Amino acid sequence: MATAATSTPPAWQRTLVCASLTARVPREMAAEVDAAAALGADVAELQVGCLDGFEPRRDLPVLLAQPRSLPVIVTYRPKWEGGQYAGEDEPRFEELLLAMELGAEYVDIEFKVADKFMKFLSGKKPQSCKLIVSAYDYERTPSVNELLNLVAQIRAIGADIVKISTTAADIVDASRMFQVLAHCQEKQVPIIGLVMKEQGFISRILCAKYGGYLTFASLEKGKESAPGQPTVSDLINKYKIRQIGPDTKVFGIIGNPVNHSKSPIVQNQAFRSVGFDAVFLPFLSDDLVEFLSTFSAPDYAGFSCTMPHKETALRCCDDVDPIARDIGAINTIIRRPDGKLVGYNTDYSGAISAIEDGIRASQSTDSTTSPLAGRLFVVIGAGGAGKALAYGAKEKGARVVIANRTFARAQELANKIGGTALTLSELENYHPEEGMILANATSVGMHPNVDGIPLSKQALKSYAVVFDAVFVPRETRLLREAAACGATVIDGLEMLIRLVMVQFKLFTGGMTAPERLMREAILTKTH
């Protein structure tokens, strides 16, 4: 299913960034409007139900006093729609009308009572105030036809702006909302269309590609008013939402988990630095096949694949780079202009070059040959990353040993590359020679399970070099304990720097990666 229309609609306009404010004191909420403006927001949503002891005639003049740094949406959500108001409809209607009369640029009312609210207003709404009519589905994301019918019903009531907020069970649910946004954009119907939860996160950014009227953001982490809401700063600085338009190409990292990934920070900065019209997003997905078949439009131009999809990706591609085919795992997919998917493996070159340079920096080696040549190279893990490390080490002349929780998988990989297989328990006492190299290609020790370690400290004493593919945290328990044993340690961030530079070149059709910028972004930014 193609989800993107790439021609610019005649009435396309930039999506506004709205900071949703939830302070408990009126003067604090008013101050948050200024803070939102300073961050670059276009609009502020005043969730007045969050105020302690809210008294409209006392508090609304404080909140709506002019001069005001941003236009505002006044929202007073009842409990039955996820808010705080527990009273009858009419007093709340009166308070929303007061907000209109005091100069609120927008007022938000729920679709379930919008007809009743319009009768209450009976023409009293000021021309300067736009009415947003909101429909929520906290269980699912309905079909495209159901959503379009809902848009028509909301429009028929007299809404100036349609707002539909649904819930994602899977990332592909966002594609239905994109089709609705694109349809409304074509018909010049102002619409806010968002999908909640982490699986719907991309809707909060890509609504800018499909002409969504605005997208909501929190003032800072921890102040979200809905699940999956990004911060104003992330929308503007990390995802460059101001630059996203109908022709923006979409890239991203597909996996589970993906929220720890630094790739969006790095690739978005790099794209912007070379003037490449693209955005890079985290795609939380458990089903790679369904994801690729859903987001199949030409603008979805390339993907980074991480756990657990690296081996499945091999079967999803129409063409595969020979090295990736030998490894049996893919971490990069490019969509060619003809729509065919081509798979690559940049883990291989990123990890091996990081290990080689780490050894060269700490030990005197022959510069004409790889410092891996002739060394015993132990890989923990037989998944996609393990395959890349095993294949790369073998190609550099190392003698490769594979240890894995499932011994049969270790054996399968060892047979494929001409190496040796061990169980993890056997690895604990494995010490046939000095100067061994250890590479962890599992997720053991990754945030949030930072106390995990794939091998005991006692066993680590047998290794001269230890590499960990985990990069969040940068210094894993494995690396910390290996360093205490006197080993040369190489972290996963160094591998990441190298592999994302190769990916950047593939994504952009051959542009040279801005190495210094990408290195600084990876080493200094946190996510």
Rounded to the nearest 5°, which phi and psi values hold at 393?
Answer: -65, -40
Q: Is 408 exposed, middle or buried (0-12, 13-18, 19+ CB in 10 A)?
A: exposed
Residue 262 has pLDDT above 90, yes or no: no
pLDDT digits (tens, 9 = 90+) for 349-377: 899 999 999 999 987 777 789 999 999 99
* Three-state secondary structure call for residue 288: helix
DSSP H or E stretch at residue 410: helix 407-417
Evaluate whether the domain defined by 364-490 bears CATH number 3.40.47.10.
no
> Mean pLDDT lowest for which of 2-16, 76-90, 309-323, 461-475?
2-16
- Decide: 310 and 258 in contact? Cβ < 8 Å: no
Mean pLDDT of the chain: 93
Residue 3 has pLDDT above 50, yes or no: no
Domains of the chain: which residue ranges?
16-246, 254-344+498-523, 364-490
pLDDT digits (tens, 9 = 90+) for 150-159: 999 999 999 9
- Homologous superfamily, domain 16-246: Aldolase class I (3.20.20.70)
Active-site annotation holder among 125, 130, 240, 310: 310
- Decide: 32 and 228 in contact? Cβ < 8 Å: no
Rounded to the nearest 5°, which phi and psi values hold at 19?
Answer: -85, 120
How many CB atoms neighbour CB 511 within 10 A?
15
CATH architecture of 254-344+498-523: 3-Layer(aba) Sandwich (3.40)
> What DSSP designation does 234 have?
I
pLDDT digits (tens, 9 = 90+) for 157-202: 999 999 999 999 999 999 999 999 999 999 999 999 999 999 999 9
Residue with tokens 């968002």: 194
- Decide: 526 and 264 in contact? Cβ < 8 Å: no
Angle at 447 between CA 361 and CA 224, to 5 degrees: 130
Of 386, 370, 372, nearest in space to 441 by CA: 386
* Three-state secondary structure call for residue 421: strand
* Three-state secondary structure call for residue 374: coil
* Three-state secondary structure call for residue 425: helix
Q: At 328, is the pLDDT very low, low, confident or very high (cuts 50, 70, 90)?
A: confident
Of 343, 340, 251, 246, nearest in space to 300 by CA: 251
Of 490, 464, 492, nearest in space to 358 by CA: 490
Mean pLDDT of 287-295: 97
DSSP 333-370: EEE-TTS-EEEE--HHHHHHHHHHHHHHHHS---TTS-
Asked if the domains at 254-344+498-523 and 364-490 fall in one CATH topology, the answer is yes
Please give the pLDDT value at position 526.
42
Alpha-carbon distance values, 47 to 29, 43, 228 (Å) = 9, 13, 18
- Calculate the CA dihedral of residues 248, 499, 254, 491 and round it to 10 degrees: -130
Residue 285 is encoded by which pair of tokens? 């997905």
Strands ordered across the beta sheet of 341-344? 278-284, 249-255, 300-305, 332-335, 341-344, 319-320
- Decide: 85 and 49 in contact? Cβ < 8 Å: yes
Q: Is 29 exposed, middle or buried (0-12, 13-18, 19+ CB in 10 A)?
A: buried
pLDDT digits (tens, 9 = 90+) for 501-521: 999 999 999 999 999 999 998
Please give the pLDDT value at position 348.
87
Please give the pLDDT value at position 24.
95
Residue with tokens 């007809």: 115
Cβ contacts of 320 within 8 Å, gap of 6 or more = 314, 330, 342, 343, 344
Instruction: Answer yes or no: 310 catalytic.
Output: yes
